[in-house]
Amino acid sequence: MIDRMGLIVPASTTTSGGLPAELIWLGLPVAALLLVVFGILIVKSLYKRCPSNRILVIYGKVGGGRASDCKHGGGSFIIPLIQSYAYLSLEPRVIEIPLEGALSLNNIRVNVPSTFTVGISTDPVLMNNAAERLLMLTPQEIKDQAQDIILGQLRLVIATLSIEEINKDREKFMNLINENVAQEVNKIGLELINVNIRDITDESGYIQAIGKRAAAEAINRAKVDVADQEREGAIGEATAIRERNVRVAQEQALADQGQKEAERMRRVAVARFEAEAQVGEAESKRDQEIAVAERTAEMVAASKRAEQQQRVEVAEAEAMAVGGENNSKENIAESDAKLAEVKAEAKRRADVASAIAKQKIYEAEREQELARLSKDELAPQEIEKTRIEIQAEAEAERQRRVARGEADAVLARYEAEAEGLQKVLEAKAEGYRQLVAACADNPQVAPTLLMIEQLPQLVAEQVKAIQNLKIDKITVWDNGRGSQIEGKGGSRGATADFLSGLIGSLPAVHELAEQAGIELPGALGKVRDQITVEKAKDSSDRSADQAVTD
């Protein structure tokens, strides 16, 4: 039997399993094909290619004691269960750095907004750094890390430079930024691609003042150059005018000299011809000697007049030449004077502009120093002053409110007391009015009753004055001199008068106490009747006199 492949097989050939042999021969190519396809798929799944804009990072067990194996371009096999892989993008990352208030070398805070472009480096060492520190991070996290590093290094670079160096020597500034920032970002696997400083400003306006000073210096230099060129032009013009005047004077003098020489030759020739003619005529005509002599005299006179005229004209020409030279010298002197004035004016303007520029610089420095003092020294004092004023005003307001409350309370108390006192006085007035009305028949009784009303208080006050005194005995000193008693022949002392007066006042006191309804102490005695009182009084006077005598 011939099959499709051209093989001759027995028609009844079978396998040990009972399958036809032709089926086995047909299955072998299919199995091989499937095995090849499966192997291709496995190889494709294990072999990872690296695009040109990425870095292939193989991590796991990579050998050589390394944590990862980085490849840029090409590809590599990934061993399952032992290794894995990830990609790092090489795309540039633009980082905005809004740096404000960075302190420079001369303690002036500047604002340096800038833009940095960074990217992961393809250097083997830097690729490993990036794999160790940036793998699995999002692009924003990478930007944040790079921004923190760049901010710190940028502040460090600004702290090592003055404002003048930052503003003028931009090349040095950029080199320092590239060196410092590149070194730090390389530690995390990044490289610095580009730096763009947009604008540099400061809070105090120092950079603006420097710009104004530079502009003023440029303007002054331009003015000086213009003045120099004008001076050179004026000098050239004056030199040309002077040379022209000198040359004209020289040509004029040469012309006058030629004219005088021609005149002299003419006069000599004429004189020679005249002399020859005169000699001929003298020889030929002796009779005309007088006429010749007269003619000769006239010719001499004419010649003298001609010489005189010639000398006058020569003197006038020479005077004109000298005047031209003097005018030339005068013009040169005026030109030099004007040139000196222009130089002086230019120097004055330059000095004035320089003084104004220096004044503005000093004013800017003064304003800066005042601002610094106001910020560093005056601001805390102003804050403390404001705080103290607020506290003082609060304390004063509190005291005013407390005083106002106390005053209101005192006023209310006084008003209440005044109202109560007014009511008491009104009640007393009403009582007194009724008392006076009741005593209308005997008006003298009303004052007595009022005095009796106040007597307990008076007695109480008197008792208070002596209630705490302990009196064992009373000693009376008498000087022995007595007083004459009316109607009696004898005399008595001061003690007798005192006792007599005291005893004599007892009836009135007892009467007053009786009217007031008060019981007096027993030591003051009792009043029986008028006779008994008088006898007692006389007896007391005698006893007192006797006591004084003893």
Mean pLDDT lowest for which of 8-17, 178-187, 356-365?
8-17
Q: Is the pLDDT of residue 464 over 50?
A: yes
pLDDT of residue 478: 52
Q: Is the pLDDT of residue 493 over 70?
A: no
Q: Is the pLDDT of residue 53 over 80?
A: yes
Mean pLDDT lowest for which of 32-46, 169-183, 189-203, 487-501?
487-501
The residue to which tokens 């006069």 are assigned: 267
State the Cα–Cα distance between residues 74 and 532, nearest whole angstrom.
159
Mean pLDDT lowest for which of 52-56, 335-339, 531-535?
531-535
State the Cα–Cα distance between residues 274 and 256, nearest whole angstrom.
27
Q: Convert 254-275 to b/e letters by CB count within 10 Å (16 or more is b).
A: eebeeeeeeeeeeeeeeeeeee
Question: Which whole number is the average pLDDT over 368-384?
Answer: 76
According to DSSP, the residues that pair with 83 across neighbouring strands are 60
Q: Provide CB contacts within 8 A for 162, sequence distance 6+.
A: 104, 105, 106
Asked if 57 contacts 189 with a C-beta cutoff of 8 angstroms, the reply is no
Residues 80-132: tens digit of each pLDDT: 888 888 888 888 999 998 888 888 887 888 888 889 999 988 888 888 888 88
Q: Is the pLDDT of residue 497 over 70?
A: no
State the Cα–Cα distance between residues 340 and 231, nearest whole angstrom.
9
How many other C-beta atoms can be found within 10 angstroms of the C-beta atom of residue 180? 19
Residues 284-298: tens digit of each pLDDT: 677 677 766 777 777
Q: What is the DSSP pairing of strand 190-197 with strand 54-60?
A: unpaired
pLDDT of residue 270: 77
pLDDT of residue 273: 78
Better-predicted residue by pLDDT, 162 or 325: 162
Q: Is the pTM of this model over 0.85?
A: no
pLDDT of residue 283: 72
Question: Which whole number is the average pLDDT over 519-542?
Answer: 56
pLDDT of residue 331: 75
Q: Is the pLDDT of residue 547 over 50?
A: no
Q: Is the pLDDT of residue 511 over 60?
A: yes
Better-predicted residue by pLDDT, 465 or 372: 372
pLDDT of residue 15: 47
Q: What is the DSSP pairing of strand 83-89 with strand 54-60?
A: antiparallel
